[in-house]
Amino acid sequence: MNIITVKDYAEMSQKAAAYIIEKVRQTPSLRLGLATGGTPVGTYQNLINDHQKNNTTYRDVLTFNLDEYIGLTGDNKNSYRFFMDDNLFNHIDIKKNNTFIPRGDGENFETECREYEDLLAKHGGVDLQILGIGSNGHIGFNEPGTSFESKTHVVNLAPSTIEANARFFNSMEEVPTQAITMGISSIMKSKEILLLVSGESKRDAMKKLLNGEVTESFPASILNNHPSVTIIADQAALSD
Ligand SMILES: N[C@@H]1[C@@H](O)[C@H](O)[C@@H](COP(=O)(O)O)O[C@@H]1O
């Protein structure tokens, strides 16, 4: 794993955006895996600024998001579809039809999971996957204990994840308790991974990730087995 240490959230966001922009310029039809949560918001803002200033184009880019809450429609402001439209897609020249996110408002989630996995395969998989990390080590919504063999599947969210995500909702009761997520094996298939980590609340997670033990009780630890991982982490996340 290649670790880039940065001062703070702002620098992490700039460096991550620069990394993505370079890839998009090299490969205009890049298949880009995207994440939600607070961590990548600044990165997306930098992509938008660059698009407006330097005209980097996303016309031929395909994006695949990691996950979506079950029970929220795309127009719900807490759905990840809304988040992505609002924080990135509406402000760059990507074609909406080229942005894929699992649907959490369907009727048959098993079919949705299978179709999402097929979709990833049909397009030849992800070239560059952006990842955040939960404080319990989850990646996407793969909670501790998830099989490393897992493909896109339905998950019950851990209480700590529900609590952490409650800040985006009006009340605890509104936070969905289930989600659809790309599995660990789906994530590991991506050719390259860029993990973004910022803030004190991620310090323990970083420590566990870097101590090298690979265990299903800490999902992100599998990244130690991936041949091409870059971590951009700020000082607060690394200070241990
Ligand atoms: N499903 C998302 C993850 O993809 C994200 O990495 C994690 C961390 O979020 P944050 O970046 O807000 O700390 O939260 C959510 O659970």
Q: What is the pLDDT of residue 58?
A: 98
Give the pairing type, strands 99-100 and 62-65: parallel
When the pLDDT of each residue in the chain is averaged and rounded to a whole number, the result is 96
Number of domains in the chain: 1
Measured in residues, the chain has a length of: 240
Q: Is residue 234 over pLDDT 80?
A: yes
Q: How confident is the model at residue 215 (pLDDT cuts 50, 70, 90)?
A: very high
- Is residue 199 lining ligand 1, measured as CB closer than 6 Å? no
Q: What is the pTM of this model?
A: 0.96
Name the residue with the closest Cα to ligand 1, atom 6: 132
Share above pLDDT 90 across residues of the chain, in percent, rounded to a whole number: 94
Q: What is the pLDDT of residue 240?
A: 64
Q: What is the pLDDT of residue 5?
A: 97
Q: Does residue 136 have an active-site annotation?
A: yes
- Is residue 140 lining ligand 1, measured as CB closer than 6 Å? yes
Q: What is the pLDDT of residues 20-48, one digit of tens each?
A: 999 999 999 999 999 999 999 999 999 99
- Is residue 68 lining ligand 1, measured as CB closer than 6 Å? no
Q: Does residue 22 have an active-site annotation?
A: no
Q: What is the pLDDT of residue 165?
A: 87
Q: What is the pLDDT of residues 44-84, one digit of tens each?
A: 999 999 999 999 999 999 999 999 999 999 999 999 999 99
Domain with residue 85: its CATH number is: 3.40.50.1360
Q: What is the pLDDT of residue 239?
A: 80
Q: What is the pLDDT of residues 113-145, one digit of tens each?
A: 999 999 999 999 999 999 999 999 999 999 999
**Residue span of the structural domain in which 155 resides:** 2-238
How many angstroms separate the alpha carbon of residue 27 from the centre of ligand 1? 27
Q: Is residue 194 over pLDDT 70?
A: yes
Q: What is the pLDDT of residues 155-185, one digit of tens each?
A: 999 898 899 889 989 999 999 999 999 999 9
Name the residue with the closest Cα to ligand 1, atom 4: 140
Q: What is the pLDDT of residue 44?
A: 98
Name the residue with the closest Cα to ligand 1, atom 14: 37
> What average pLDDT does the segment 193-206 reach?
97
Q: Does residue 67 have an active-site annotation?
A: yes
